[in-house]
Amino acid sequence: MEHQPYRLAEEFDRFLGDPDDPGEVFSHARCVELDDKEEFPADICRRFQEWGLPEQYVPVEYGGRLRDYEQVLQLVRAVARRDLTCAIGHGKTYLGGVCVWVAGSAEQGARLGAEIMAGVPVSLGLTERAHGSDLLAGDVRTDDKAADTEGHWLVSGEKWLINNATRGSVLALLTRTRPDGGPRGFSVLLVDKRELDEDTYRHLPKIRTHGIRGADISGIAFDGARVPRGALVGAEGAGLEIVLKALQLTRTMCAALSLGAADHGLRLGLDFAEERELYGRRLIDLPQARQVLAGAAADVLLHEAVALVAARAVQTQTAELGVTSAVTKYLLPTGTDQVLADLTGLLGARAFLKGVYAGGRFQKVARDHRIVGLFDGNTLVNLNSLVNQFRSLARGFRRGTGDTAGADAACDLTAPLPPLDPARLTLVTRHGSGVMAGLAASVDEITRRAEQNPVIGPVAAAARRLLDVTTAVHAEMEEYQGVLTEVPPAAFEVARRYTLCWAGAACLGLWTHSTDHFGDDPGTGELWRDGRWLHTALDRLLVRLGEPAAAGEETYEELLGALRAARSSGRLFSLLPQRLPERQPVRTGAAAVESERTSC
């Protein structure tokens, strides 16, 4: 069955051309070169503009094409698969706009939407040098004592480590508008640098970075900049609330960056194993190499499943996005860093060298991806946010409450998505997680299917074990449910386990609700049939939860076969079909013939 978000991503990818062709604007060779020179990929971003990518960042109500977040996920993933600097440097404009989509007026939304679609870069100014993730300590402020505050805010202070602070023309700025206002002392101002007196602001130098070296990570300092009163987004004093809601959206969408990086890394690892030959044996024929590749492949599909459910849940269970986004923003970056670390073991020195294998792209993607776990709410911030919600999550699980209908719709890929209603975003998930509350029903469903089809038996057994562990994890959460200050390390560990259980519940939900629609595809159908991708996903999660393995070598061998078949037939290795614009690798020998045959 066709799935629209993948179709459009495929079309976009085709427009961008074959990345292996150095003559293309958005080629691998060009990205490596720009990274070496630490240059912003401006020419590549113009290609995105030509295709209309910025329209996908603007909600339809403001004149753009953003209707389903699942679509943005796949488009940004396609960019990230080639280069994270481009994905982050360009996708940042979405981040800059999102406060307005969440809380701005219709007029503000329409005006900003038009700017974004015209190619104006927009940025989001949150962090400051002295305060890191502590937004409430921000010093960028308005000065109410100045003479002409009637028509303007007078903004002073410095934002630092801001993506596109220099390139961006418009900046959504978290500003302290009331010195003693506590969490109500902040407002979001949509500052248009083009309207400011040039003497009242300056850019801070580009910061040199370990990864995404071409990105514009810099800062901006204001000194009495006159910002019109109309720049206020939402209510005065609502800034922190707006930003925390906006971050729920952006943290979920960060999954696209991790998915793309993993697609790229897995491709490089597979190609290397297929091509590398020592002493008459190819790397791909060695059991250790096969195990690493199959494990990475299992993780890639697991992450894709979680991201699919999470991106759909943005619209189907918006009120639980505080949990969904924290789980996703923790799990995908850390899980993808691990995939890249595992593949590093496979590539050996080639993972480290520049210019020896594949233009040094592997060391680049591994470096570039490191930022994803750091920005937009780091790993600990996300786990901490889950610990803060342990009380309601444990209570919800005990009672079986949460938005289960919304979770079901997120898991059924054929279900139409309702439009996003930003008013339903909330800082606290009140009644637990609908994804978790639906776990028991999914386990019943797969158990029922296993009675009809005994091949699924081991998958159903793994699902039952996941339910047991999930129940135990919620009991552990009850022990820490009073912990709201000075969170002990053990509570972070419980939160980590919670994210693994949530991921398992999402995978089971996705498989049980969607497998009947996707098992027939000639390419990706075999991943769905007999619960194959689900089997390895549950195995990976259970092992990380400290449980015995749930899938044997033969299951992983089948997955490896599917990975090789996808590569040799020009498909993305993914849960749903998508063709890639790359030319086919030319391979000799029996294995290549064999994998060609499997793809038919």
Partner 1 sequence: MPVPTTGHTTESLTTWLAERIALYLKRQPAEIDPDVPLAEYGLDSVAALSLCGDIEDDFDLVIEPTAAWDYPTVHALAGHLVEELAAEAAKDGGA
Which of 360, 357, 363, 426 minimizes the C-alpha distance to 392? 426
Which residue, 415 or 483, is less far from partner 1 as judged by CB? Answer: 483
Task: Please list, in sequence order, all residues whose beta carbon lies within 8 angstroms of the beta carbon of residue 426, skipping any fewer than 6 positions away.
Answer: 245, 319, 322
- Interacting positions 497-536 with partner 1 (CB under 8 A): none
| 3-state SS assignment for residue 229 | helix
Which residue, 17 or 181, is less far from partner 1 as judged by CB? Answer: 181
| Two structure tokens written together for 319 | 């009120």
| 3-state SS assignment for residue 174 | strand
Which residue, 16 or 240, is less far from partner 1 as judged by CB? Answer: 240
Task: For the CB of residue 485, give the shortest distance to partner 1 in the complex, in Å.
Answer: 5
Give the interface segment with partner 1, choosing from 73-81, 281-289, 372-380, 385-393 (CB under 8 A): 385-393
Which residue, 359 or 396, is less far from partner 1 as judged by CB? Answer: 396
Which residue, 224 or 422, is less far from partner 1 as judged by CB? Answer: 422
- Fill in the per-residue mask, 416 to 455: x = in contact with partner 1 (CB under 8 A), - = not in contact: ----------xxx-x-------------------------
**DSSP letter (8 states) at residue 350:** G
Task: For the CB of residue 481, give the shortest distance to partner 1 in the complex, in Å.
Answer: 9
588 lies in the site for partner 1, by CB under 8 A: no
Q: Site for partner 1 (CB under 8 A): how many residues?
A: 21
Task: Single out the residue of 67, 395, 544, 579 in contact with partner 1 (rule: CB under 8 A).
Answer: 395
Which residue, 85 or 389, is less far from partner 1 as judged by CB? Answer: 389
**Buried (b) or exposed (e) across 308-327, using 16+ Cβ within 10 A?**
bbbbbbbbbbbbbbbbbbbb
| Two structure tokens written together for 248 | 């729920």
Which residue, 243 or 446, is less far from partner 1 as judged by CB? Answer: 243
Task: For the CB of residue 489, give the shortest distance to partner 1 in the complex, in Å.
Answer: 16
Report the alpha-carbon distance of residue 174 to residue 98 in Å, rounded: 13
Which of 308, 488, 467 minimizes the C-alpha distance to 380? 488
**Buried (b) or exposed (e) across 562-586, using 16+ Cβ within 10 A?**
bbbbbbbbebbbbbbbbbbbbeeee
389 lies in the site for partner 1, by CB under 8 A: yes
Give the interface segment with partner 1, choosing from 17-25, 310-318, 383-391, 408-416 (CB under 8 A): 383-391
Which residue, 171 or 240, is less far from partner 1 as judged by CB? Answer: 240
Report the alpha-carbon distance of residue 210 to residue 35 in Å, rounded: 10
Which residue, 222 or 397, is less far from partner 1 as judged by CB? Answer: 397
- Interacting positions 165-224 with partner 1 (CB under 8 A): 182-184
- Fill in the per-residue mask, 233 to 262: x = in contact with partner 1 (CB under 8 A), - = not in contact: -------xx--x------------------
Which of 345, 371, 343 minimizes the C-alpha distance to 268? 343
Angle subtended by helix axes 255-275 and 321-347, to nearest 10:
20
Task: For the CB of residue 255, give the shortest distance to partner 1 in the complex, in Å.
Answer: 22
- Fill in the per-residue mask, 537 to 566: x = in contact with partner 1 (CB under 8 A), - = not in contact: ------------------------------
Cβ of 345: how many Cβ atoms within 10 Å?
Answer: 12
Task: For the CB of residue 229, give the shortest distance to partner 1 in the complex, in Å.
Answer: 23
Alpha-helical segments (H) within 348-488: 361-369, 379-388, 390-399, 404-411, 434-437, 439-452, 457-479
- Fill in the per-residue mask, 478 to 497: x = in contact with partner 1 (CB under 8 A), - = not in contact: ----x-xxx-----------
Task: Single out the residue of 315, 388, 442, 536 in contact with partner 1 (rule: CB under 8 A).
Answer: 388
Which residue, 49 or 426, is less far from partner 1 as judged by CB? Answer: 426
Half-sphere exposure of 587 (CA within 13 A, CB side): 25
Task: For the CB of residue 430, give the shortest distance to partner 1 in the complex, in Å.
Answer: 6
Task: For the CB of residue 134, give the shortest distance to partner 1 in the complex, in Å.
Answer: 9
Q: Cβ distance 364 to 317 under 8 Å? A: no
Which residue, 108 or 385, is less far from partner 1 as judged by CB? Answer: 385
Q: Cβ distance 203 to 218 under 8 Å? A: yes
Task: Please list, in sequence order, all residues whose beta carbon lies within 8 angstroms of the beta carbon of residue 233, skipping any fewer than 6 positions away.
Answer: 99, 100, 103, 104, 108, 172, 187, 188, 189, 190, 239, 242
Phi, psi (rounded to 5 degrees) for 189: -115, 130
Task: Single out the residue of 56, 93, 392, 574 in contact with partner 1 (rule: CB under 8 A).
Answer: 392
Which residue, 392 or 574, is less far from partner 1 as judged by CB? Answer: 392
Task: For the CB of residue 162, give the shortest distance to partner 1 in the complex, in Å.
Answer: 22
**DSSP letter (8 states) at residue 545:** T
Task: For the CB of residue 182, give the shortest distance to partner 1 in the complex, in Å.
Answer: 6
Which residue, 182 or 345, is less far from partner 1 as judged by CB? Answer: 182
Which of 524, 508, 500 minimizes the C-alpha distance to 408? 508
Task: For the CB of residue 184, give the shortest distance to partner 1 in the complex, in Å.
Answer: 5
| 3-state SS assignment for residue 207 | coil
Task: For the CB of residue 395, give the shortest distance to partner 1 in the complex, in Å.
Answer: 7
- Fill in the per-residue mask, 104 to 143: x = in contact with partner 1 (CB under 8 A), - = not in contact: --------------------------------x-------
Report the alpha-carbon distance of residue 301 to residue 597 in Å, rounded: 23
In the chain, count H helices and then E strands: 22, 10
Which residue, 392 or 595, is less far from partner 1 as judged by CB? Answer: 392
Task: For the CB of residue 180, give the shortest distance to partner 1 in the complex, in Å.
Answer: 10
Residues at the site binding partner 1, with contacts judged by CB under 8 A? 136, 182-184, 240-241, 244, 385, 388-389, 391-392, 395, 426-428, 430, 482, 484-486
